[in-house]
Amino acid sequence: MFHAAIADTTSDEISDHIVHGAALPDSGDAESLQPGETVLQVSALTAPSVQKSQPLHALNFDVRAGESLGLAGVWGNGQVELVECLAGLRAISGGTVHPGGCDITGTSALVRRHTGLAYVSADPSHEGLKPESSIRTNVIAGSHHSAPIARGGILNPAAMRRVAGESLNKLKSN
């Protein structure tokens, strides 16, 4: 957790905290900072309020290759609702979502995952992770419908172990 008075905090300290110490491009290298083609286009995204959530009203934005999109605001101002709409976890009532030029507006969360969109919950202990299950089960969650983990609806325990091990090794090397 990062705690410091605003007056005592530099923009470099905030950036370092956000990316957890990962190397950022040198701001003096303008060539490496030029954004690329549009990789996500959201147009007129609208979603109704659900229970006590905030409605979304005609949101428009593009994310280009090389850019990171951050959502900041006071809790309850619609950030979670937007992310859930993008991930296919909340229905939208208007607008479009185009990752890589492909219209996925009316598709399921699974189809969206296959396009490269991923959702990481702000509260993984209540959404996504299952603390009472093994690390292997948690690592393969969401991939359990397809080969090599499953074939014809039957899970392959050896493939589960291999895929989970490979995923965990990737995390260790980063």
Three-state SS letters, 26-80: CCCCHHHHCCCCEEEEEEEEEECCCCCCCCEEEEEEEEECCCCCCCCCCCCCCHH
- For position 22, what pLDDT does the model report? 58
Distance between CA atoms of residues 64 and 39, nearest Å: 5
How is domain 36-119 classified at the CATH fold level?
A: Rossmann fold (3.40.50)
Q: How far lies 164's CA from each of 139, 157, 161, in Å? A: 6, 10, 5
Cβ atoms of 105 and 95 closer than 8 Å: yes
- For position 105, what pLDDT does the model report? 93
DSSP label at 168?
H
The model's pLDDT over 32-43, given as tens digits with 9 standing for 90+, comes to: 667 789 999 999
Query: Tokens for 41?
Result: 């286009």
User: Does residue 6 carry a pLDDT above 80?
Assistant: no
- Residue 8 DSSP SS3: helix
For the chain, the structural domain boundaries read: 36-119, 122-174
Distance between CA atoms of residues 41 and 118, nearest Å: 15
Cβ atoms of 54 and 78 closer than 8 Å: yes
Higher confidence at residue 149 or residue 12?
149
Mean pLDDT of the chain: 81
The model's pLDDT over 58-113, given as tens digits with 9 standing for 90+, comes to: 999 999 998 888 887 777 788 888 989 999 989 999 999 999 889 999 999 888 88
